[in-house]
Amino acid sequence: MPAEIITVASLKGGVGKTTTTYALAAAAAATGKRVIAIDLDPTGGLSNALEKAKRSVTIADVLRGRVTLHDALVEHPLGIRTVAGHRSLNQEPLHEGQLRSIIQPVLNEADIILLDTHPHEPSLIGPLSVGDRIVVPTALDLLSMRAAALTVGLAQQLGSLERIRGIVVTNAKRPLSKVTESLYNGLSMTGLRFGTTLWFSSGWIVATSGKGELPEEMLQQAAQELLQEVLTRPAPVDALRSFISMAQGRRGGPPPQQPTSTPVPQSQ
C-alpha cells in the first residue's frame, strides 16, 4: 500500500500546524508505522522540532533536483524520517507536480507522509492538492477560525474539499473563557471539529523544542486519538461548504442561485 499523505495546513501562522504535524508523526511512529515528515515551511518549525534534521541537505535541494527525497531523509530518534525546511521556499510557489514528483519515489517506503506547511496561498497549492487527508488546525480566536475557513475555501478551489477530515483545536487553555468557549462550541456544532483537542500543555512546547520525545503520556494519548480520527474520519463535505459560506458572510443555508445567461421570462 502506498503511503497516505497527510497535509497540515492553515493560511494563518501560529495556529498549531507544526505542533499538530509533530503530534501525528510521533503518534504514527510510536505504533510502528513508517513515517516521513517533510517541512515545507521556510521558517523551519518542524525542522527545529525534529532538531536532528540534517541542515546541510534541505527540501530546497530536493525540489531543485540536486538530491532525491530518499537520499535527503534523515532518521530522527522517534523513528520519523525527515528532511529540513529551507528559507528559500518563502519566495516561490509550490506546485502540485513538483511535490508529486519528489514524493512519488518514496510512496512505497512509508505508511504515512506528513507535510507541515507555510501559511501562504501560493505555497499551499501543492500541499493541498497532494494530501490524501488534510487537517486544518485552529486556535480559538476569530482570526484563526476565519483563516481556517479561508483554507477550506482554497482547498475547494483546488478540488480538494473532500480530503479535509476536520479542524483540530490546538493551544486552547483550560478553563475556557466565555469567548473561547462560545467559539469552541460553535465549531463543535458545525461537526467540523475533531473530537480530540490538543489542549495547551507545556509538554507540547517541550516536545516540539527539539528534545525528540513526547514527554507526557496524556499528550501521547491525545496524539494517538487524533491520528485515529484523521485516518478514519470521512470528509464532512456539507459542513465544510457551510463553513466557507459562513466565512463569506452568509449564514449557511442553500448556496445562492448562480446567475443564468438565459433571462427569466417576465410575467405579462
Site residues, Mg ion (CB under 5 A)? 17-18, 45
Give the Cα separation of 57 and 237 in Å (integer): 39
The residue count for the chain:
268
For the bound state, the minimum distance from the C-beta of residue 19 to ligand ATP, rounded and expressed in Å, comes to: 3
Amino acid at 55: R
For the bound state, the minimum distance from the C-beta of residue 198 to ligand ATP, rounded and expressed in Å, comes to: 4
For the bound state, the minimum distance from the C-beta of residue 116 to Mg ion, rounded and expressed in Å, comes to: 6
Give the Cα separation of 23 and 25 in Å (integer): 6
Rounded to 10°, the helix 17-30/217-232 angle is: 90
Rule CB under 6 A: is residue 236 a binding residue for ligand ATP? no
Rule CB under 6 A: is residue 17 a binding residue for ligand ATP? yes
Q: Which of ligand ATP, Mg ion, none lies near 208, with the C-beta cut-off 5 to 8 A by kind?
A: ligand ATP
Whose cell is 534534521? That residue is 53
Choose which of 19, 47, 151, 242 interacts with ligand ATP (CB under 6 A).
19
Q: Which of Mg ion, ligand ATP, none lies near 204, with the C-beta cut-off 5 to 8 A by kind?
A: ligand ATP
Q: Toward ligand ATP, which CB reaches closer, 2 or 203?
A: 203
Rounded to 10°, the helix 178-190/237-247 angle is: 130
For the bound state, the minimum distance from the C-beta of residue 43 to ligand ATP, rounded and expressed in Å, comes to: 6
- Beta pairing, strands 74-75 & 80-83: antiparallel
Question: Grid coordinates standing for 1?
Answer: 500500500
For the bound state, the minimum distance from the C-beta of residue 22 to ligand ATP, rounded and expressed in Å, comes to: 8
User: What ranges in the chain are assigned the alpha helix state H?
Assistant: 17-30, 45-49, 59-63, 69-72, 96-103, 121-130, 142-157, 178-190, 202-206, 217-232, 237-247
Q: What is the CA radius of gyration of the chain?
A: 19
Q: Which of ligand ATP, Mg ion, none lies near 14, with the C-beta cut-off 5 to 8 A by kind?
A: ligand ATP
Going residue by residue from 114 to 133, which x/- string records binding to ligand ATP, judged by CB under 6 A?
-----x--------------
**Contact, 37 vs 21, CB < 8 A?**
yes
Rule CB under 6 A: is residue 237 a binding residue for ligand ATP? no
Choose which of 198, 223, 230, 239 interacts with ligand ATP (CB under 6 A).
198
Going residue by residue from 25 to 54, which x/- string records binding to ligand ATP, judged by CB under 6 A?
----------------x-x-x---------
Rule CB under 6 A: is residue 215 a binding residue for ligand ATP? no
For CA atoms 213, 49, 55, 74, the dihedral sign is: positive
The residues binding ligand ATP (CB under 6 A) are 13-19, 41, 43, 45, 119, 170-171, 198-201, 204-205, 208
